Chains A and B, each alone.
Chain A
């Protein structure tokens, strides 16, 4: 099971004076069970890219294959695809609309054609998996804090039981604890259910901590693709395109310069701590 993008191009407002090529010749393979981060400055094509993965946007040219099937085939069920590839937009809490949290989360599976009972069962499981306490479930979603609302919105997508979960900046505007809570829940879904995760983020520290593969978008193309350690080693190139490496990656660089560390490409706090303690043991 995988998603394959083959020479995907996307042009906004084609054949007008405002023509912009948002995606240029994208070739990617997303394997089953991966945890992928996507970074890039505003306007680099991140959001356009992820909206192609569930067929919400249609490539101007090129092909997309989900589990080996061409999603642009005449008789391919793209509605079903959108259930399998769940997309959580930026500020998803703006899309909450039902009178109770439980009703809001049940809406997705009901819309997919499941019976009331089945839909409610799925909503139950989804709300459990985002860790929202049961005494909230029958309240209005508008009574919740920012972080709680966001978890309800994510539950709404999880209730459709997707195989792939794509999140577009799920932590924007949340306090530090709220950020950790959301990302820990996502990491748990990845570990326990082997769900494929694609996380779009502006926080280099977050992607370094959670993802195993990092894709850097720049001007509609894939600029780098590798482990966080490999990608952040190119910190100068990243800065040139408006990004940066996590603070600790710069620290490791400084320590190498001062001869304290022989090597070290740590990108997370734990890795850095270990490398420094190791150096001081000698």
Chain B
């Protein structure tokens, strides 16, 4: 069984009037199938309101399904007895770092999670050290979080999740509020956790450049999964992506435009390196 498996997962937001009669139903997830293997790096793209964040909230049972089934680590999310085990194994990082940091010292913030689930003190300190090291923030352990940059705060939030020793980490637009440097720091930290520790990563983002290194990409639109495949397959379909209000990385778009103008360049160029090589071959 895959680490995450969704079969016909449905989520409906139901609005009721004062008497409790149903006023309107918004189907945020419409029979979504999702398969993520242990250790995979999966990216989810989609426009605002496409259902990405609703999906993310299902993965650690902040929301439960209106229909269909979702298994995380072999456990059915419908079963209330599985709640804590799933949350421990699928940590979440949200968009705004300031909403996720609660302590006044970095290491105490990271220790909050394991302390909350009753990990022995000596073990907590080991975990704090390990997780701060894994995101490159160990030298800030005694600092106050409010003096850190956005990228640093976000990495502390990731360390807080890592201290729970999850198998999977779900990031919901973790870089939306960061400057270019902060964005790079956070992405590097996430890619490293995936490669070196085998942590399964689900990355939700609006930045197409961040998706280039993912193993697989899912594209959502109006609650449906409308495309899935490797970044190269997804990004070779420029016009289809645009019809879903999305885009492709700037380099991919340039390669596509050059091809349309008559240059013999392969489809689905993802990086600057690839485009330079393709152009050198032509020259």
A residues contacting B by CB (< 8 A) are 40-43, 145-147, 172-178, 202, 204-205, 242-244, 246-248, 250-251, 254-255, 258, 260, 269, 272-273, 276-277, 280
A242 touches B180 (CB 8 A): yes
- CB pair A251–B275 under 8 Å, yes or no, is yes
A199 to B281, CA, bound (A): 40
A272→B246 CA distance, assembly (Å): 22
Residue interface mask B124-165, A partner, CB < 8 A = 1: 000000000000000000000000011100000000000000
Q: Enumerate chain B residues within 8 angstroms of A260, measured Cβ to Cβ.
A: 279-280, 283
Tell me the bound Cα distance from A252 to B15 in angstroms: 53
Does chain A have a CB within 8 A of B177?
yes
Q: B49, B179, B254, B282: which contacts A202 (Cβ < 8 A)?
A: B179
Docked pose: A243 CA to B184 CA in angstroms: 10
Contact A247 to B251, CB < 8 A, known contacts A175-B48, A177-B245, A178-B48: yes
Chain B 171-183: CB-based contact to A (< 8 A → 1; otherwise 0): 0010011111111
B250 to chain A, nearest CB (A): 5
Separation of A246 and B182 alpha carbons in the complex (Å):
16
Q: Do A175 and B245 have beta carbons less than 8 Å apart?
A: yes
A242 in contact with B250 given A41-B149, A254-B276 (CB within 8 Å)? no
Q: Which of A42, A146, A255 contacts B48 (CB 8 A)?
A: A146
Closest 8 CB pairs of A and B: A242-B181, A177-B245, A176-B247, A175-B47, A146-B48, A41-B179, A173-B176, A247-B250
Whether A250 contacts B181 by the Cβ 8 Å rule is no
Q: Are B279 and A276 in contact (CB under 8 A)?
A: yes
Known: A145-B48, A277-B263. A172 touches B250 (CB 8 A): no
Q: Knowing A41-B149, A202-B179 touch, does A173 contact B206 (C-beta < 8 A)? A: yes
Known: A41-B149, A280-B263, A280-B283. A202 touches B276 (CB 8 A): no
A40 to B173, CA, bound (A): 21
B283 surroundings in chain A (CB, below 8 A):
258, 260, 280
Instruction: Report the minimal beta-carbon distance from B51 to chain A, rounded to whole angstroms.
Output: 12
Q: Is the CB–CB distance between A247 and B272 below 8 Å?
A: yes
CA–CA, A172 to B250, complex, Å? Answer: 18
What's the Cα separation between A43 and B177 when bound, in Å? Answer: 13
Chain A residues with Cβ below 8 Å from B275 are 251
Q: Contact at A243–B180, with CB atoms within 8 Å?
A: yes
State the CA gap A71–B245 with chains docked (Å): 43
> Which listed residue, A145, A202, A276, A280, touches B180 by the CB 8 Å rule?
A202
B261 close to chain A: CB less than 8 A: yes
- Known: A172-B177, A177-B246; 12 extra A-B contacts, CB below 8 A, are A41-B179, A147-B48, A175-B47, A175-B48, A175-B206, A255-B276, A258-B279, A258-B280, A258-B283, A260-B283, A272-B254, A273-B257
Using a Cβ–Cβ cut-off of 8 Å, how many residues does chain B contribute to the interface with A? 41
A255 contacts across to B, CB distance below 8 A: 276, 279
Chain B residues closer than 8 Å to A173, beta-carbon distance: 48, 95, 173, 176-177, 206
Q: Distance in Å from the Cβ of B102 to the closest Cβ of chain A?
A: 21
Task: Mark interface residues in B240-255 (1 if CB within 8 Å of A CB, else 0).
Answer: 0010011101110110
Q: State A251–B247 Cα separation when bound (angstroms).
A: 19
User: What would be 19 A-B contacts, judged by CB atoms less than 8 Å apart?
Assistant: A40-B179, A41-B179, A42-B149, A42-B179, A145-B48, A173-B95, A175-B47, A202-B178, A202-B179, A247-B249, A247-B272, A248-B251, A258-B276, A258-B279, A260-B280, A273-B261, A276-B258, A277-B258, A277-B261
In whole angstroms, how far apart are the Cα atoms of A172 and B173 in the complex?
A: 11
Q: Are B179 and A248 in contact (CB under 8 A)?
A: no
Does the CB pair A176–B208 fall under 8 Å? yes
Q: Which among A172, A176, A254, A277 is the interface contact of B246 at CB below 8 angstroms?
A: A176
User: How many angstroms between the C-alpha atoms of A173 and B182 in the bound complex?
Assistant: 15
Which residues of chain B are within 8 angstroms of A41 by Cβ–Cβ distance?
149, 179-182
Query: Closest residue to B275 on the A side, CB-wise?
Result: A251
* Bound complex: CA A242 to CA B208 (Å): 20
User: Bound complex: CA of A260 vs CA of B176, how far in Å?
Assistant: 36
**1/0 contact string of B256-276 vs chain A (CB within 8 Å):** 011001010000000010011
Contact with A along B190-218 (1 / 0, CB 8 A): 00000000000000001011000000000
Q: How far is the CA of A121 from the CA of B280 in the complex (A)?
A: 58
B250 in complex: contacting residue of A174, A175, A205, A243, CB < 8 Å: A205
